[in-house]
Amino acid sequence: LQLVVSLTVIAAICASILATVNTVTKDQIATLKARSVQNAAKIVLPKSVTDIEVGADGIFVGKSKSGKALAYAVIGVDSHGFAGDIKLMVGFLPDYTVVTYQKLEAQETPGLGSNLTSPEFMKQFKGKIAATDLKVTKDGGEIVAITSATITSRAVCGAVNQARQQLQKFLAQNK
Protein backbone atom coordinates (compact mmCIF):
# COMPACT_ATOMS: atom_id res chain seq x y z
CA LEU A 1 0.00 0.00 0.00
CA GLN A 2 2.85 2.36 0.83
CA LEU A 3 4.39 1.67 -2.61
CA VAL A 4 1.09 2.48 -4.37
CA VAL A 5 0.76 5.77 -2.47
CA SER A 6 4.38 6.72 -3.25
CA LEU A 7 3.96 5.99 -6.97
CA THR A 8 0.68 7.91 -7.06
CA VAL A 9 2.29 10.97 -5.47
CA ILE A 10 5.25 10.81 -7.88
CA ALA A 11 2.90 10.44 -10.86
CA ALA A 12 0.81 13.42 -9.69
CA ILE A 13 3.92 15.59 -9.29
CA CYS A 14 5.17 14.61 -12.78
CA ALA A 15 1.75 15.30 -14.30
CA SER A 16 1.58 18.75 -12.73
CA ILE A 17 5.10 19.59 -13.95
CA LEU A 18 4.19 18.51 -17.49
CA ALA A 19 0.98 20.52 -17.40
CA THR A 20 2.88 23.61 -16.24
CA VAL A 21 5.51 23.26 -18.97
CA ASN A 22 2.77 22.82 -21.57
CA THR A 23 0.94 25.94 -20.36
CA VAL A 24 4.13 28.02 -20.37
CA THR A 25 5.32 26.91 -23.83
CA LYS A 26 2.13 26.52 -25.91
CA ASP A 27 1.90 30.23 -26.82
CA GLN A 28 5.58 30.33 -27.76
CA ILE A 29 5.17 27.23 -29.93
CA ALA A 30 2.13 28.75 -31.68
CA THR A 31 4.06 31.99 -32.30
CA LEU A 32 7.02 30.09 -33.76
CA LYS A 33 4.73 28.06 -36.04
CA ALA A 34 3.02 31.22 -37.29
CA ARG A 35 6.40 32.84 -37.92
CA SER A 36 7.55 29.71 -39.78
CA VAL A 37 4.49 29.87 -42.05
CA GLN A 38 5.05 33.58 -42.73
CA ASN A 39 8.71 32.98 -43.55
CA ALA A 40 7.76 30.14 -45.90
CA ALA A 41 5.31 32.46 -47.68
CA LYS A 42 8.11 35.00 -48.22
CA ILE A 43 10.36 32.28 -49.63
CA VAL A 44 7.86 30.93 -52.17
CA LEU A 45 6.72 34.30 -53.51
CA PRO A 46 8.67 35.96 -56.35
CA LYS A 47 11.22 38.65 -55.49
CA SER A 48 9.09 41.26 -57.29
CA VAL A 49 6.58 41.09 -54.41
CA THR A 50 6.92 44.14 -52.15
CA ASP A 51 3.95 43.63 -49.83
CA ILE A 52 2.32 40.49 -48.42
CA GLU A 53 -1.24 40.42 -47.12
CA VAL A 54 -2.97 37.49 -45.49
CA GLY A 55 -6.24 36.91 -47.28
CA ALA A 56 -9.20 34.75 -46.40
CA ASP A 57 -8.48 31.09 -45.62
CA GLY A 58 -4.88 31.94 -44.69
CA ILE A 59 -3.81 32.52 -48.29
CA PHE A 60 -0.95 34.99 -48.60
CA VAL A 61 -1.34 37.53 -51.40
CA GLY A 62 1.92 38.96 -52.73
CA LYS A 63 1.42 42.45 -54.13
CA SER A 64 3.39 45.04 -56.07
CA LYS A 65 3.99 48.58 -54.85
CA SER A 66 0.86 49.64 -56.73
CA GLY A 67 -1.24 47.02 -54.91
CA LYS A 68 -1.63 44.59 -57.80
CA ALA A 69 -1.68 40.90 -56.84
CA LEU A 70 1.44 39.33 -58.33
CA ALA A 71 1.44 35.91 -56.67
CA TYR A 72 -0.08 33.77 -53.95
CA ALA A 73 1.32 31.52 -51.23
CA VAL A 74 -0.96 28.68 -50.18
CA ILE A 75 -0.58 25.79 -47.74
CA GLY A 76 -1.23 22.39 -49.28
CA VAL A 77 -1.47 19.12 -47.36
CA ASP A 78 -1.50 15.54 -48.59
CA SER A 79 -2.08 12.75 -46.08
CA HIS A 80 -0.64 10.02 -48.30
CA GLY A 81 3.05 10.54 -47.59
CA PHE A 82 5.06 7.45 -46.71
CA ALA A 83 5.30 8.52 -43.07
CA GLY A 84 2.17 10.67 -42.78
CA ASP A 85 1.11 14.14 -43.83
CA ILE A 86 3.18 16.29 -46.12
CA LYS A 87 2.49 19.97 -45.58
CA LEU A 88 3.91 22.48 -48.03
CA MET A 89 3.72 26.21 -48.65
CA VAL A 90 3.34 26.60 -52.41
CA GLY A 91 3.87 29.78 -54.39
CA PHE A 92 1.71 30.41 -57.47
CA LEU A 93 1.48 33.10 -60.09
CA PRO A 94 -2.07 34.20 -61.03
CA ASP A 95 -2.13 31.69 -63.93
CA TYR A 96 -1.36 28.83 -61.48
CA THR A 97 2.29 28.60 -62.51
CA VAL A 98 4.25 27.16 -59.60
CA VAL A 99 6.96 29.50 -58.30
CA THR A 100 8.38 26.97 -55.81
CA TYR A 101 7.41 25.25 -52.60
CA GLN A 102 8.73 25.09 -49.05
CA LYS A 103 8.33 22.14 -46.70
CA LEU A 104 6.42 22.99 -43.53
CA GLU A 105 5.97 19.46 -42.17
CA ALA A 106 7.04 16.02 -43.37
CA GLN A 107 8.47 13.00 -41.58
CA GLU A 108 9.69 11.04 -44.58
CA THR A 109 12.47 8.44 -44.61
CA PRO A 110 15.91 10.08 -44.30
CA GLY A 111 17.86 9.83 -47.56
CA LEU A 112 14.79 8.82 -49.59
CA GLY A 113 11.51 10.68 -49.08
CA SER A 114 13.30 13.45 -47.23
CA ASN A 115 14.73 14.38 -50.64
CA LEU A 116 11.45 16.19 -51.34
CA THR A 117 13.44 19.33 -50.55
CA SER A 118 16.36 18.49 -52.85
CA PRO A 119 16.96 21.13 -55.54
CA GLU A 120 16.86 18.44 -58.26
CA PHE A 121 13.35 17.37 -57.29
CA MET A 122 12.00 20.84 -56.50
CA LYS A 123 13.14 22.37 -59.81
CA GLN A 124 10.70 20.09 -61.65
CA PHE A 125 7.82 22.08 -60.16
CA LYS A 126 9.21 25.54 -60.88
CA GLY A 127 7.43 27.06 -63.86
CA LYS A 128 4.90 24.23 -64.21
CA ILE A 129 1.42 25.46 -64.89
CA ALA A 130 -0.68 23.61 -62.32
CA ALA A 131 -4.09 24.57 -63.70
CA THR A 132 -4.73 20.80 -63.72
CA ASP A 133 -3.32 18.14 -61.42
CA LEU A 134 0.42 17.56 -61.44
CA LYS A 135 1.39 13.87 -61.39
CA VAL A 136 4.50 11.69 -61.32
CA THR A 137 5.51 9.99 -64.57
CA LYS A 138 4.30 6.59 -63.29
CA ASP A 139 0.81 8.11 -63.14
CA GLY A 140 1.03 9.75 -66.57
CA GLY A 141 2.45 13.08 -65.45
CA GLU A 142 5.67 15.03 -65.94
CA ILE A 143 7.22 14.90 -62.47
CA VAL A 144 10.01 12.33 -62.18
CA ALA A 145 9.64 10.65 -58.79
CA ILE A 146 12.41 10.57 -56.23
CA THR A 147 14.22 7.24 -56.59
CA SER A 148 12.70 4.70 -54.15
CA ALA A 149 10.27 7.35 -52.90
CA THR A 150 7.36 7.33 -55.34
CA ILE A 151 4.83 7.56 -52.51
CA THR A 152 6.45 10.73 -51.21
CA SER A 153 6.67 12.16 -54.73
CA ARG A 154 2.96 11.50 -55.27
CA ALA A 155 2.18 13.16 -51.95
CA VAL A 156 4.18 16.26 -52.92
CA CYS A 157 2.18 16.44 -56.16
CA GLY A 158 -0.98 15.96 -54.09
CA ALA A 159 -0.06 18.79 -51.72
CA VAL A 160 0.68 21.13 -54.65
CA ASN A 161 -2.62 20.15 -56.28
CA GLN A 162 -4.53 20.66 -53.03
CA ALA A 163 -2.95 24.13 -52.62
CA ARG A 164 -3.96 25.01 -56.20
CA GLN A 165 -7.54 23.91 -55.52
CA GLN A 166 -7.66 26.19 -52.48
CA LEU A 167 -6.30 29.05 -54.57
CA GLN A 168 -8.88 28.44 -57.30
CA LYS A 169 -11.65 28.58 -54.71
CA PHE A 170 -10.16 31.74 -53.15
CA LEU A 171 -9.87 33.50 -56.52
CA ALA A 172 -13.42 32.51 -57.53
CA GLN A 173 -14.78 33.98 -54.29
CA ASN A 174 -12.70 37.16 -54.54
CA LYS A 175 -13.25 38.30 -58.12
- At residue 106, the pLDDT reads 86
Whether the pLDDT of residue 169 is over 90: the answer is yes
- State how far the Cα of 51 lies from the Cα of 53, in Å rounded to an integer: 7
pLDDT digit string, tens, across residues 110-150: 777 788 889 999 999 999 998 889 999 999 999 999 988 88
Q: What is the length of the chain?
A: 175
The residue among 90 and 115 whose pLDDT is bigger is 90
pLDDT, tens only, 32-88: 887 888 889 999 999 999 999 987 688 999 999 999 999 999 999 999 888 889 999
Q: How far apart are CA 3 and CA 156, in angstroms?
A: 52
| Average pLDDT of the segment spanning 96-115 | 86
* pLDDT number for residue 42: 92
